[in-house]
Structure 1
Amino acid sequence: MKLFVLLVSFTHTLPLLAMSVSFQGSPQSRRGLPIPIHKRGTLNAHGSVSPHFLQTNIQQSVDKFRDGFSAYERNTGERHPLDWLPEPDLQEKRDMGSIPLAPADQQLWYGSISVGTPAKKFLVDFDTGSSDLFLPGPRCEETCSGHAAYDPSESYSASNTGRTFFLKFGDGSTATVEGYTDVVSIAGLSAKGQVVGVASEYSTGFSISKFTPDGLLGLGFQSVSKYNATPFFINLISQGIVSNPVFGVRLANEGSELFLGGTNGELYQGDFTYTPVTKEGYWQVTLDGIMLDGREVVSVTQAIIDTGSTLILGPAEVVEAIYGRIPGAIPSLDPNGIKSGLYTVPCNFDMTIALQFGKRAFPITPSIFNLGPVHGQPNRCYGGMASQSKIARFWILGDTFLQNVYTAFDFGRKSVGFASLVEPS
């Protein structure tokens, strides 16, 4: 199997404009490795999409970034420029934070890791919208039944950091999280001294029947770490385990992959368009526009690239204006008759929505934008773009966009690259 990877320099910097760079023919990193990842489906037993699933995903995304902004302020002493809501109750002097994990019916991109010596395997959600590793601990019994528990006492490479964190779940329940360091490995790539949060309790919404992974592994920057600890992939870089400070992501119904130490050239074609990270913390970049059938409907704005979100999320008035240009689109109402932020479109929706980075537009395939039918309404489907009232300064680009591109996350250049996918044979 012939692979292509990105060769980068830690000292190289990009100009402030997005650029196209060809990496065709670059040699494979000898330590770059593909890791298969999987997802749970979005359709329920009736073959329709649950609006509860979509609304919960939106709220989880908002909560995640709110808490990350709080962590950023604690870690750096500065308020993140995209932060929209101060949280006085999260500004206590003790170490605390919230690591939102997906509730029932969540769509996740998860894969296998191992922790400890001897190594024990766990399933984790790989999330570019956070920066920490979190697992259930041995004292988490009833609410963690069915999940693999990480027991530091069974690993002779584990060490207690002496730090305690506060975990808040979306349903209001809480748990204490103890910090440990240990060896963490993915596909044979091992980071020593990796901080692992060990929880004493899970929310009941995380039963094994509703939440497949055991925990979460964040792939963002340290400044949004609730532990203020070096994230896993950055540890791989600093310890010389990977020769390229890049990881690639391909999300799809089949053949999804996380590639550590480069990119997998068999999954994309042509050049990458790279755009700089505008504020370290999240994979935050400049989105140069959103187009509908070739006409611009959103101008330059900020966006966060997030594998942990299902939808494309944006400001309410802007999302409403976009759907206003789609024939037959109507807002979805919650059980109280209030606009939920979701929209439905005719299931034969065939307009082209494209996101622009630099001078290059990346279209969203209509069949991917169409999330699936509304229960009892086979001709109406949920659209893959939604709004949330608390998001006013930026967009969150989740699965609805990322399934249309191959994405490279480059810590060396502090930038994100997008390339076209290889056409299926």
Structure 2
Amino acid sequence: MHSSSNSIPLQRVKRNCTLTGTSEQISFKCHRSCDGTSTVEPKDCNNKVLTQTKLGVSKLFGTDRLLDEAHGSYWIGLITIGTPAQSFYVDFDTGSSDLWVPGATCGISCGGTHTFSSSASSTYTLWNKNFTIYYGDGSHATGKWANDTITVGGSISGISVSHQPFAVATSAYGMSSRVSDGLIGMAYRNIAQGGEYPVIWSMYLAGQLTQPIFGFWFNPVTTGSSGGELILGGYDNTKFTGNFTYAPVSSQDSGTTLIAVPSNYANQINTQLGGTYDYISGLYTLNCQTQLLSSFPNLTFTISGRQFVLTPLMYMIITGSGSSNDPYICYSVIQPTYGIVDLQNRTIWIIGDYFMRRFYNVFDMQNNRIGLATSTSYSQLQTVPSTLFTPKSSTTKLDHMWMIYSCLSLTVLVISNPFLACSSYS
């Protein structure tokens, strides 16, 4: 354990929005947009609509409970607000910097089960300032700014900071089916809607953390509720092997399950993997019914000169097809970003948690860098159906390794300047 850090155990909880399509399961977050309140691009999700044009921005980081989005649940964490403490389970998001929770008047549009009572907190101070935040998947929240005491990890063992700016939401869109009670941003101050210090920076400035660092480990095993571990102020050296490889970052976003790249790159990569585009789901599928597993290549990311390898089962999502003839469908985690750009209007590559969960991740905000090391759970894979990858064909189409190189300015979760993301195979 890194010195002067706080360790918080994490666990999984199932979400409350049943998914009917693989597209919803692995990419576009039914719990974000499956509220039926307006017409967006139609997708089946409990007979409600689902947007496909933008990938979500918040999900992965948590304290106390970490929930797995890709397997029918997702990551949230415990915080408390006020005096006496009021508990909330929120998303921990590295793509935004603001903390908000539902107010008593928000109703079902805010989702979750807990609302903040300002009158019940003796340390609460209301601002005369409105709050509005939009996320990349089209969801948003509005409300009022305030100050209060915030504790991350629970009131007994967590870390507290007083007079912390946060927002009390009075309305929201795209949040109604969520289990979480709002969101806590873990990114930089320069993207905070109110221009105030995010919670982790406030803790550092108050002397609660010796450095503005947080590390996390994802448990890929979906049985049970244990989802991993979040460390505030350091990292857990029992959860990785070898040394960290650091890459400079300017911003980071924990917002997608997939590895999302510009459409032309997604087509090139999936073509080399033998994949085809499914216009119904809007996703690339891989031919796992007639092709041997051994014929699929490894997928390698080269970051700051070090190779990080995903084996075929690490970049495939296997799900039931509903057909007796071909009972399984394999989806590629390499999917198009549908024109998403960064704040400088540059096309981006988003490296989602199918990559992240295989490695231990450290965000060093003071030095503007992210560190990656091989997770102790790297080799743990999803369950493979016994009928999958049987040799129905003697043809091996792929014996290449596809290499994706990030060459210069790199954000591990969001890579701008796609011409710097060189790709080749041999």
| TM-score over 0.5 for the pair | yes
Between the aligned partners of 2:128 and 2:185, the Cα distance in structure 1 is: 22
Question: C-alpha displacement at 1:153, in angstroms?
Answer: 1.9
User: Are 1:34 and 2:8 an aligned pair?
Assistant: yes
Which of residues 306, 314, 328 is equivalent to 1:379?
Answer: 328
Alpha-carbon spacing, 1:41–1:366, altered in 2? closer, same or farther (3 Å): farther
Between the aligned partners of 1:178 and 1:247, the Cα distance in structure 2 is: 28
CA RMSD of aligned residues (A): 3.2
Question: C-alpha displacement at 1:40, in angstroms?
Answer: 4.5
User: Are 1:147 and 2:121 an aligned pair?
Assistant: no
Which of residues 110, 124, 132 is equivalent to 1:158?
Answer: 124
TM score, norm. by length of structure 2: 0.69
List gaps (5 residues or longer) in structure 2. 30-50, 59-68, 221-225, 341-345, 381-426
Superposition map of 1:9-408 within 5 A: 28-29=3-4, 31-38=5-12, 40=14, 50-57=22-29, 59=52, 62=55, 64=57, 108-144=74-110, 147-167=113-133, 176-187=142-153, 188-203=158-173, 205-207=174-176, 210-253=177-220, 254-277=226-249, 279=250, 282-283=251-252, 306-327=253-274, 329-334=275-280, 340=282, 342-347=283-288, 349=293, 350-373=296-319, 375-376=321-322, 377-391=326-340, 393-408=347-362
Contact 1:43 1:50 in 2 (8 A): no
Contact 1:114 1:122 in 2 (8 A): yes
Once the two structures are superposed, residues 300-344 of structure 1 have per-residue CA deviations (whole angstroms, 9 ceiling, x without a partner) of xxxxxx3231111111001100011012x1112137xxxx2x211
Q: Secondary structure at the match of 2:355?
A: helix
Contact 1:38 1:111 in 2 (8 A): no
Q: Secondary structure at the match of 1:356?
A: strand
Question: C-alpha displacement at 1:140, in angstroms?
Answer: 1.6
**Residue identity opposite 1:179 in structure 2:** W
Q: Report which structure shows greater RCO (CA 8 Å, sep ≥6).
A: 1
Q: Secondary structure at the match of 2:327?
A: strand
Question: C-alpha displacement at 1:112, in angstroms?
Answer: 0.8
Q: Secondary structure at the match of 1:202?
A: strand
**Residue identity opposite 1:334 in structure 2:** I
Matched residue count = 327
Question: C-alpha displacement at 1:221, in angstroms?
Answer: 0.5
Once the two structures are superposed, residues 272-323 of structure 1 have per-residue CA deviations (whole angstroms, 9 ceiling, x without a partner) of 001112x3xx23xxxxxxxxxxxxxxxxxxxxxx323111111100110001
Between the aligned partners of 1:325 and 1:42, the Cα distance in structure 2 is: 37
Question: C-alpha displacement at 1:251, in angstroms?
Answer: 1.9
List gaps (5 residues or longer) in structure 1. 6-27, 66-102, 284-305
Between the aligned partners of 2:211 and 2:137, the Cα distance in structure 1 is: 40
Once the two structures are superposed, residues 86-135 of structure 1 have per-residue CA deviations (whole angstroms, 9 ceiling, x without a partner) of xxxxxxxxxxxxxxxxx999853211111111111110111111111111
Between the aligned partners of 1:246 and 1:170, the Cα distance in structure 2 is: 25
Q: Secondary structure at the match of 1:201?
A: strand
Between the aligned partners of 1:104 and 1:265, the Cα distance in structure 2 is: 26
**Residue identity opposite 2:206 in structure 1:** Q
Between the aligned partners of 1:372 and 1:198, the Cα distance in structure 2 is: 40
Q: Secondary structure at the match of 2:354?
A: helix
Question: C-alpha displacement at 1:351, in angstroms?
Answer: 2.4
**Residue identity opposite 2:175 in structure 1:** F
Between the aligned partners of 2:88 and 2:105, the Cα distance in structure 1 is: 17
Alpha-carbon spacing, 1:39–1:313, altered in 2? closer, same or farther (3 Å): farther
Between the aligned partners of 1:153 and 1:42, the Cα distance in structure 2 is: 30
Question: C-alpha displacement at 1:196, in angstroms?
Answer: 1.4
Q: Percent identity?
A: 29
Contact 1:319 1:386 in 2 (8 A): yes
Question: C-alpha displacement at 1:406, in angstroms?
Answer: 0.2
**Residue identity opposite 1:249 in structure 2:** F
**Residue identity opposite 2:360 in structure 1:** Y
Question: C-alpha displacement at 1:191, in angstroms?
Answer: 1.7
Question: C-alpha displacement at 1:414, in angstroms?
Answer: 1.4
Between the aligned partners of 2:94 and 2:11, the Cα distance in structure 1 is: 14
Contact 1:129 1:219 in 2 (8 A): yes
Superposition map of 1:403-422 within 5 A: 403-422=357-376
Between the aligned partners of 1:363 and 1:146, the Cα distance in structure 2 is: 37
**Residue identity opposite 1:265 in structure 2:** N
Contact 1:137 1:198 in 2 (8 A): yes
TM score, norm. by length of structure 1: 0.69
Q: Secondary structure at the match of 1:234?
A: helix
Alpha-carbon spacing, 1:243–1:61, altered in 2? closer, same or farther (3 Å): farther
Alpha-carbon spacing, 1:171–1:417, altered in 2? closer, same or farther (3 Å): closer
Question: C-alpha displacement at 1:62, in angstroms?
Answer: 4.3
Q: Secondary structure at the match of 1:153?
A: helix
